[in-house]
Amino acid sequence: MINRKSRDEIKRMRHAGHIVALVHQKMKEVVEPGISTKELDNIAMHIIKENRAIPTFLGYAGFPASICTSINEQVVHGIPSEDVILKEGDIIAIDVGATYGGMVGDSAWSYRVGKVSDEVDKLMKVTEESLYAGIEQMRPGNVLDDISKAIEAVANREGYGIVRQYGGHGVGHEMHEDPFLFNYSVGDNTLIKPNVAIAIEPMLNLGGDDVVVSQEDGWTVSTKDGKPSAHFEHTVIATEDGPLITTQLMK
Ligand code: MG
Ligand code: MG
């Protein structure tokens, strides 16, 4: 069942989203060659806690950290580690979740570590563009497929792979609620009703669509062909006034 959020739930989701945005604001500052992904996790955890929120990911299905850190060919669900040190030319997708007042904000952003190659730079720009193309369709009266098609059109224009096994999702009291949102058209004509919240999150690859889950840690998802992948995500509510991104800084 796709539930609709009350005014009070939306207020708390905006607060949770603001805290997630504070973490991203800091990540943008501290991501640089030489920092470990464990240090990034510590910083994120500190910001979430000092804002009286709960790191949503920590302990979720046994996940051992507050953020997911996925580098280069890693797509999602990378585990922060002292042994993983960022280096010049890497890209890192950082996925952040915070729960405030029982409501969740979920947002991922990909960051450049120093200067990256032109083709990777373009992958980042286009993946971000596909996110906003999807968000634009997050309006009452549209259907889920409108979002999927918008994302797919941007990816197809550049010939990028689209990760098939993972996608967007309803979000609110839980990080993962109904519905599942594909990042490519499957003809899902489920109507988007007012005050429905969805985490929209395209994952695009420089190479093919296929991904594999690490046998070693059981979490990290990487592209099968080893080519880079980018990930951008916002939590968005379809309001009568248009798409409301909750995972941004409140004014
Ligand atoms: Mg996320
Ligand atoms: Mg998500």
pLDDT digits (tens, 9 = 90+) for 158-171: 999 999 999 999 99
Looking at residue 95, its pLDDT comes to 98
d(CA 71, CA 109): 12
Whether pLDDT at 251 is above 90: no
Looking at residue 73, its pLDDT comes to 98
* Cis preceding linkage at 179, omega within 30: yes
The CA 233 to ligand 2 mean position distance, Å, reads: 7
Q: Which residues contact 125 (CB under 8 A, 6 or more apart)?
A: none
Looking at residue 124, its pLDDT comes to 98
Looking at residue 36, its pLDDT comes to 98
Whether pLDDT at 128 is above 90: yes
d(CA 106, CA 204): 18
The CA 169 to ligand 1 mean position distance, Å, reads: 9
Mean pLDDT, all residues of the chain? 98
The CA 29 to ligand 2 mean position distance, Å, reads: 23
List own/partner pairs for 113-118 with CB under 8 A and 24 or more apart. 113/31, 113/32, 113/33, 113/86, 113/87, 113/88, 113/89, 114/32, 114/33, 114/88, 114/89, 114/90, 115/88, 115/89, 116/89, 116/90, 116/91, 117/89
Positive or negative, the CA dihedral 35, 23, 161, 165 is: positive
Whether pLDDT at 175 is above 90: yes
- The answer to whether the beta carbons of residues 230 and 204 sit under 8 Å apart is yes
Whether pLDDT at 88 is above 90: yes
Mean pLDDT, range 183-201, rounded to an integer: 98
Closest ligand to the CA of 174:
2
The structure tokens listed for 172 are: 């609110």
Instruction: Look at the pTM and tell me if it is higher than 0.75.
Output: yes
**What angle do the packed helices 118-136 and 144-158 form, to 10 degrees?**
160
Query: For residue range 131-142, what is the model confidence (pLDDT) as tens digits?
Result: 999 999 999 999
Mean pLDDT, range 115-121, rounded to an integer: 98
The CA 156 to ligand 1 mean position distance, Å, reads: 23
Looking at residue 15, its pLDDT comes to 98
The structure tokens listed for 45 are: 């955890």
Q: How far is CA 130 from CA 62, 69, 142, in A?
A: 31, 21, 17
The CA 99 to ligand 1 mean position distance, Å, reads: 12
The pLDDT confidence band at residue 70, using thresholds 50, 70 and 90, is: very high
Mean pLDDT, range 83-88, rounded to an integer: 98
Length of the chain: 251
Mean pLDDT, range 96-125, rounded to an integer: 98
> Which residue from 225, 98, 116, 114 is spatially nearest to 161, judged by alpha carbons?
225
Positive or negative, the CA dihedral 124, 234, 156, 210 is: positive
Q: What percent of the chain has pLDDT over 90?
A: 99
